[in-house]
Amino acid sequence: MGGRLRTTGQLVRGALLVALAGTACRQEAPPAAVPAAVQPVVAEAVAPVAAVRPDAVAQPEAAGLPAPWVPPQPELAADGVRDALRRAAAALAEGRLYRNADDAVPLYLAVLALRPQERAAQRGLETARRQLVASVRALLERPYEQRRALDEAAEQVAVLVRLAPDGPDAPELHRRIQAARHLLALNRSAEQALRDGDLDKAASAFAQVEVLEAGNSRAAQGRAAVESALLRRAEDAAGHADFDAALGWLQRAATLREQAPTVVDARHRIEAMRAAQLVALRDGGLRDLASAKGLKPAREKLEQALRIARPGDEAVATLRQKIDLVAHYGRFRPGQVFTDALEDGGRGPQMIVVPHGGFQMGAGYAEPGASDVERPEHYVRFDRGFAMSITEVTVAEFGRFVAATNARTRATRRGHSVVYDERSGNFVRRNGADWQAGYNGAKAPLDNPVMHVSVRDAEAYANWLSTQTGHYYRLPSEAEFEYALRAGSSGRYPWGNAGTPPPRSGNFTGSEDVSPSGRHWKNAFVGYGDGYWGAAPVASFKANAWGLHDMGGNLSEWVADCWHASYRRAPSDGAAWYNPGCRQRVVRGGNWANAPEQTRAAWRLSQDSDMTSARIGFRLVRGI
């Protein structure tokens, strides 16, 4: 103080970290009668801090009073008392109390040494004592430069001990200084830990302060700084897509203040960051799927999204669904109906997308009417969907191919095919019957399924269609045909296990069917009639569950497989079981003249690749 009790100075708030500028000392109401010269001047409001009760401070224990202050000795002669009293009063008014020989307290003490009963000196010392008490209390409340303030307060308590060794002020103020020093040490230790990034240590030390002094503003501000640091770490982790770590930091921050608005707000921000990252991953993945990049980068983004998403997240579900669609269906979707444009301006057959999946192919050993060529029953899975003709290829569709290529089918070159003879009720060879003929050899309507074609004729049509459209068309594999025929069912017949087909379910041999000359089938579904003797126009009956018509009736159909007498070692992925150069091919699906047992879903037949008949047609599949 340079010989003068300093009551104010420039208010410099020592900010250790953001929000660390409080005080570990207590603030009390200023005592009455404290002269203006020693009133503390505060430049801004500081939250009041409750005084520490001596019995509330666990440590340190208050030691004995400090050694009394030893006053500087002014030179004072007996005839100089009056002048000394004048100079002491002036020093007292100016707040110069004790540091130098010319300050108030040393002068008053020197006067009393000469004149012990000098009342002016006694009154002056009492005033000085009150000012010192007020000064110490003000120093304890100072919100800045606390260590220096406490040192100064301790020095002034030593003066009080010299002035009033048996008074109550010095012991009480000494205890408060000791407690404030302990709290200051804890706060400073916590603040250093905070600077070092040791948030656990910082939080623990600030908590100790608050146990010792509830409402300590510096500790409260320090705890808020720890909370802020934890929240910054949470948001940084979220920014790096580590939301598990972010949640951990949030939970630690929440332990500092129950239901803290800052933690709640941070949680909302982090969830918003999660949502934004998931939307970005979803949109990026969708762009990948629509570009030449394809599936791999989209799947990588899905994996990232799954790592950070909560269960049931909509953005993740959308991306997963789109990836599944592309993986299994390309740019199509299950059940989608489409046709491809032909180079000659026409349209190809109407196709429908068959869903990917798996099924049990063939017949079990207990199935009535089954044979060993349909066994063993085995599981087949399609990891990708495919498109199949909704109907059998029609006379009109096949005729476009013949006209465009001048193709000569097997029956045309050979000059005959197998037709139904109404007069005898048998199937016979008839000259002139080819792809243009119907079931009885007469000219077929254009909307009828094309028949009298060999498997090689069907493959030639598929190759032409592939060239015309730029897409790969082919005969279905045997597994694809049975999978599409069953359409998710597993019964004995395409419609299930009922011994009679449902009404209008297909063109089968029914006991109610009648030929033009009045014939009836000898082996037929009892009580069923479809109104046709011979092939019916395509799509005359109900489609199955996957939108396909006439899979189990109307005409049996060529498939791509070579004939094998059982399913041992058959492909499990649904691919055609084909041996180059094989002569015997597979025919699947019942037809208008088949016995009921030949209408079963697992029924299969071996036919020579040159075979043409009024009971065999075909349909195609297309890769997607």
pLDDT of residue 6: 33
Instruction: Supply the pLDDT for residue 66.
Output: 86
Q: Would you say 91 and 97 are in contact if contact means Cβ atoms under 8 Å apart?
A: yes
For residue 284, what is the enclosing H or E element? helix 261-290
Number of Cβ atoms within 10 Å of the Cβ of 506? 28
Find, among 361, 373, 381, the residue nearest to 485 by Cα.
Answer: 361
Please, what's the b/e burial string for 414-432 (b: 16 or more CB within 10 A of its CB; e: otherwise)?
Answer: bebbbbbebeeeeeeebee
pLDDT of residue 113: 93
Are 346 and 382 within 8 A, CB to CB?
no
Query: Tokens in use for 351?
Result: 């196709």
> Is residue 576 a contact partner of residue 477, using CB atoms and an 8 Å limit?
yes
Instruction: Provide the pLDDT for residue 234.
Output: 96
In terms of CATH architecture, what is 351-622?
Alpha-Beta Complex (3.90)
How far CA 389 is from CA of 157, 477, 521, 609, in Å, comes to: 104, 13, 30, 22
What does the pLDDT read at residue 52?
Answer: 30
CA atoms within 13 A on the CB side of 555: 29
The residues spanned by each domain of the chain are: 36-196, 274-329, 351-622
Residue 215 has a pLDDT of 86
Bridge partners for 588 per DSSP: 557, 604
Q: How many CA atoms does the CB half-sphere of 309 hold within 13 Å?
A: 23
In sequence order, what are the residues at sequence separation of 6 or more whose Cβ sits closer than 8 angstroms to the Cβ of residue 243? 237, 270, 274, 308
pLDDT at 63: 52
Place of tokens 């006991």: 511
Contact 106, 142 (CB under 8 A): no
Q: How far apart are the first and last CA of the chain?
A: 92
* CA angle, residues 171, 174, 177, in degrees to nearest 5: 155
Burial bucket for residue 336 (CB in 10 Å: 0-12, 13-18, 19+) = middle
Q: What is the C-alpha to C-alpha distance for residues 596 and 563, in angstroms, rounded to an integer?
A: 22
Q: 546 vs 81, 174, 326, 336, 543, CA distance in Å?
A: 122, 93, 19, 10, 7
- Can you state the angle between helices 146-163 and 119-140, rounded to 10 degrees? 150
Q: What is the pLDDT of residue 115?
A: 94
Q: What are phi and psi of 454, to 5 degrees?
A: -85, 170
Rounded distance between C-alpha atoms, residue 213 and residue 183, angstroms: 8
| SS3 category, 558 | strand
Alpha-carbon span 191 to 20, nearest angstrom: 8
Spatial contact of 377 and 362, defined as CB atoms under 8 Å apart: yes
- Low-confidence stretches of the chain (pLDDT beneath 50): 1-62
Secondary structure (DSSP) of 340-367? PBPTTS-B---EEEEPPEEEEES--TTS
The residue type found at 104 is A
Residue type at 225? A
Q: How far is residue 582 CA from its own chain's centroid?
A: 53
- Identify whether the C-beta of residue 577 lies closer than 8 Å to the C-beta of residue 478: yes
- Strands, E assignment, 280-424: 337-338, 351-354, 357-361, 378-382, 386-389, 416-421
